[in-house]
Structure 1
């Protein structure tokens, strides 16, 4: 399999280290991984010193669930360890998300000139290269190729392809926590929504996102989904609401090592 890590030099190096860390820690239920870097599922799974160690080793790491009452203290602790914390609202949904996705796929279809494809082992590398170019242009860092193809963990990545084989939109969902994690083992990450600016307004991400969510349920039995949205990102909040997700009382707190990621951020 081709070395399928995307982004600039820093981002590719971080993704590569994240995949290696997942090979080392993937059987420990404290840790999360969905195709970028290994993190801690929740604050009960490790303190900020452990999260900082993961961030320094990989370049980036995140808590998947932080109660609102602990957000400020955790961000302060990470900053004191010379890391750059980033907060995302955690949006999640179960039955409401499944029902919303079913409504979307029953009432919306891709334009006639586009074809939906699910990435797998046999997908030509050119499709992933085209996906990466489009997504990165939107500020969205794709997961590593093994995750996109569903070769490492249960995952679905769908793309809309035009007649020239150009990827113009994408969405993905992946297992997040270890299946035996007591609280989040049955919850899947959902996201990586991106659309070529020339094709916006056609609800491509919404349609692909709905199909990806339903595929995760049909293929792997996931019925609970989550994603992170930066506070104030109204377009992403709107898509999440249409997908039946709701903002809860927990946040995702990521942290980057600025010596590994010059911009202090992993992705949009």
Structure 2
């Protein structure tokens, strides 16, 4: 039986729950993507704008994982014509350079001595997951559904740092988003959910946990290709991605929200 572990406000939890249900219906079709929030289409070649709009209308949110930059303006305009609120993210990607950068971070940047690194799994107490979610949400970051964070649904890793008072102060996660059968992105993983308690910022915790997460995905699942979405102009996120050997290429990630389901028009920051 699926765990009912969804976080955020009422709208966000409802959207995450619908996304998880949609993943059960469509999860075996390589045209669709899912990494723990909502089901999307991998790219425009996998489904047209009407299909993407239908996914957003049913779930409250959806996305294309890879839109050629030459098509970005048209996709955004078409989504607006469907009454949806589009979000444009630069798609940052990296392979061997990213893993090499992650190893260098681990070799040169130490986790503070009062913190312990923990990987979430099926045995992680429910309250600990709830504490992680609360910390992430306070940072404006919406956690993936609990089954994905625990590694129970897809190849995925979630790491968090906990202090001596059992406070979770930072987290990072990674998950596959496409099916193995997808010809282009079947071996690429999403990486993100970087969040750090404001009281611990400046200690490069997101960088450290992000690096460990990448290396765990390689060690556990053999994954060596990673991507994330960064809103253009988000300098702190761009700096972390660049330090991790990721770089923007010829694609964008285009999300879209149904304002009737998500009044803010955003799933997460």
Query: What range is the shorter-chain TM-score in?
Result: over 0.9
Q: Please give the secondary structure, in 1, of the residue aligned with 2:132.
A: helix
Pairing 1:74–2:93 present: no
Q: Aligned residue pairs: how many?
A: 268
Match of residue 38 from structure 2:
37
Decide whether the 8 Å contact of 2:15 with 2:61 is kept in 1: yes
Give yes or no for contact 2:7–2:133 (8 Å, CA) kept in 1: yes
2:255 corresponds in structure 1 to: 254
**CA RMSD, 1 decimal:** 0.7
What is the aligned partner in structure 1 of residue 18 from structure 2? 17
TM-score by length of 2: 0.99
SS of 2:250's partner is: strand
Which runs of no fewer than 5 residues in structure 2 stay unpaired?
A: none
After the TM superposition, which parts of structure 1 deviate over 2 Å for at least 4 consecutive aligned residues? none
Give 3-state SS (helix, strand or coil) of 2:140's partner. coil
**Conserved 8 A contact 2:3-2:147:** no
**1:129 maps to 2:127:** no
Structure 1 position 110, deviation (Å): 1.0
What TM-score do the two structures reach when normalised by structure 1? Answer: 0.99
Offset of residue 2 of structure 1: 4.7
Q: Aligned runs of 1:32-181 on 2, under 5 Å?
A: 32-181=33-182
Residues in 2 aligned to 1:2 and 1:147: alpha-carbon distance in whole angstroms: 10
In the alignment, the residues of structure 2 paired with residue 143 and residue 165 of structure 1 have an alpha-carbon distance, to the nearest angstrom, of: 22
Q: Distance in 1 between matches of 2:112 and 2:3?
A: 31
Taking the aligned partners of 2:197 and 2:209, their CA distance within structure 1 comes to 14
2:209 aligned partner: 208
Once the 2 structures are TM-superposed, how far is the Cα of residue 106 of structure 1 from its aligned partner? 1.1
